[in-house]
């Protein structure tokens, strides 16, 4: 599960970084919003599922 979350995070960051070069206008905004939501969701899940050390 964590591997998938890290993969989503990495791919989302890469796609978001290069979306401005590949897309223009509305499509760029939509891709940025979708990848941003995926990255925020992945970070949230990773933080909530981390192992806590006493």
Model pLDDT, residue 40? 96
pLDDT, tens digit (0-9, with 9 covering 90-100), for 38-51: 999 999 999 999 98
Model pLDDT, residue 54? 73
Model pLDDT, residue 31? 92
pLDDT, tens digit (0-9, with 9 covering 90-100), for 3-48: 999 999 999 999 999 988 988 899 999 999 999 999 999 999 999 9
Determine how many CB atoms are found less than 10 A away from the CB of residue 8: 18
For 35-48, b where at least 16 C-beta lie within 10 A, e where not — what string?
beebbeebeebeee
pTM tops 0.85, yes or no: no
């Amino acid at each position: 599960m964590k591997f998938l979350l890290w993969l989503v995070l990495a791919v989302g960051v890469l796609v978001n970084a290069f979306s401005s070069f590949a897309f223009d206008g509305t499509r760029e905004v939509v891709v940025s919003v979708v990848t941003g939501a995926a990255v925020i969701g992945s970070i949230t899940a990773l933080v909530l599922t981390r192992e806590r050390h006493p």
